[in-house]
Amino acid sequence: MGRRLDLTGQKFGKLTAVERAGTRYSGAGKYKGGQAVTMWRCICDCGNEKIVRGDSLRCGKTQSCGCICRSKEHIQRAVEGRRKWLAEQKAKA
Ligand SMILES: [Zn+2]
Residue 6: pLDDT band with limits 50, 70, 90 = very high
Strand 36-44 to 49-53 pairing: antiparallel
Residue type, 68: I
Query: Is 18 part of a structural domain of the chain?
Result: yes
Domain housing 65? 11-92
As a whole number of angstroms, the distance between CA 43 and CA 19 comes to 10
10: phi then psi, degrees, rounded to nearest 5: -80, 150
* pLDDT tens digits, one per residue of 36-55: 899 999 999 999 999 999 99
User: Given a cut of 70, is residue 1 above it in pLDDT?
Assistant: no
With 0-12 / 13-18 / 19 or more C-beta atoms within 10 angstroms meaning exposed / middle / buried, residue 37 is middle
CA of 65 to the centre of ligand 1 (A): 4
User: Given a cut of 80, is residue 2 above it in pLDDT?
Assistant: no
* Structural domain total, the chain: 1
Query: Is 68 part of a structural domain of the chain?
Result: yes
Query: Is 4 part of a structural domain of the chain?
Result: no
CA of 48 to the centre of ligand 1 (A): 5
CA of 66 to the centre of ligand 1 (A): 6
> Would you give the end-to-end CA distance of the chain in angstroms?
72
Query: Is 1 part of a structural domain of the chain?
Result: no
pTM over 0.75: no
